[in-house]
Amino acid sequence: MSEVELVIIAIAAVLTAALTAVAGAGGGVVSLVIMLQFVDPVVAIPAHGVVQLVSNGTRTITMREDAQTSLLRWYLPFLLPATIVGYFIAEGIPRETGRAVVGVFALLAVWWPAATAWLAPSAGGVRRLSLVGAVAGLLNPTIGATGPLIAPAFRTVTADHIGFVATFSLVQTINHTAKVAVFGVAGFVWSDRLPMIVIASIGVVIGTRVGARYIRRFDPEVLGRVFQVAVTLGAVRLLVGLF
């Protein structure tokens, strides 16, 4: 990976982490789409998992007092078993198909939210979070960034926006820990992508601190538009590159 590509990934890491710290979700999709411009899905998804683990872990520590941890008892039981199954599915997907899957999912997430919001339980319906955990585990190794898919479920069952951001950061920290553990046990060689992982991890720590500090000053609607444009450009480039 060239120095220019590393700089682009570092800048993207700062901006997407700040976006996620404010909006609660979305930055991970942009970050993954950008990584996929330079490396294959079999590399990008596990490397992205480490970076997002750092990003969400930092945000979880920063906002730990606002997290609704009681929700985890419904979410966790099926997460790891489903992640293991998802890994074997991802192993059988060809490289170009993997790029297409991520690109299509990213476009659905930003332009047709109803297609990815079907998991959301009714208010107070926390038991459905068990299904959400299973779906997240199954798809995490395949599409890499399931935030837009499962975020509506946690928006429904958390008290307010700050509670949602804090709780979802904790959930995503656990999701990425499971994914990184499964890829690690399967033999992924982390050292081969260490420069990209380290520089992106530093970027997300900076972005998370900036976003968490100014979370109440940003207009969510403006951020939503920026997110849509960024994801769309990256996703289209992924899909066009297949032909």
Per run of 10 residues, the mean pLDDT along the chain (length 243 residues) is: 86 82 70 84 88 86 86 90 91 78 76 67 70 88 78 80 86 92 89 89 85 66 70 74 55
The pLDDT value given to residue 83 = 93
Position of tokens 């399967």?
A: 186
The CA distance from 31 to 203, in Å, is: 11
pLDDT at 181: 93
pLDDT at 42: 82
Give residue 171's pLDDT: 92
Q: What is the DSSP letter of 118?
A: T
Show Cβ contacts of residue 117 under 8 Å, excluding neighbours closer than 6 positions.
152
CA 86 to chain centre: 16
Rounded to 5°, angle at Cα 66 from 213 and 128: 125
Angle at 163 between CA 159 and CA 167, to 5 degrees: 115
- At residue 219, the pLDDT reads 66
Q: Position of tokens 């069952």?
A: 157
pLDDT, residue 173, reads 93
- Looking at residue 25, the DSSP 8-state letter turns out to be S
* pLDDT for the residue 84: 93
User: What's the pTM?
Assistant: 0.78
